[in-house]
Amino acid sequence: MSTPRSALQRSPPRPDRLRRIDGGFAFLPNRFLHGGFFVSLTHAERSLYLFLVLAADRNGVSFYSQDRICSALELHLDDYIDVRNRIIAKDLVAFDGTRFQVLSLPPHPVATPAPPLLHPRDLEEHDPATVRQLARSALRRR
């Protein structure tokens, strides 16, 4: 008798390497992916959030300094501060100036308004009307 298809799909390819919590403590709730939080973050926001999850104790608290975080994530200080402030605004972490706390997920992802387009490069990269105009101009030149 053969094994049912659903049992085959659920068994891990490497049962000898099953994950378990040993020593440290880190987890991401499934709702982080399925509740839209993952896609609501930029790459840099996800990187910092994941780093803080991995660095946190069972209460979500971590004491990593900004220098160590910037070094680990290869972020410039200004970029780190911007990303840190965005994930705080999205209600994913708290920061008291010394310690981070990864918070329980809010009911829904928090949308943050897009930053203002202040420079010509901002317009060229993020303003749909400018992007469309540049594309049309480039196609006409051909």
CA–CA distance, 7 with 19 (Å, rounded to integer): 19
pTM: 0.70
pLDDT of 1 over the 60 cut = no
Domains of the chain: 22-110 (1.10.10.10), 112-142 (no CATH)
Which residues partner with 102 through β-bridges?
93
Handedness of CA 39, 40, 44, 47 (dihedral sign): negative
* Tens-digit pLDDT profile for residues 48-92: 999 999 999 889 999 999 999 999 999 999 999 999 999 999 999
The whole-number pLDDT of residue 30 equals: 92
Instruction: Give the burial string for 50-67 (b: 16+ CB within 10 Å, else e).
Output: bbbbbbbeeebebebeee
Tokens of 138: 């480039």
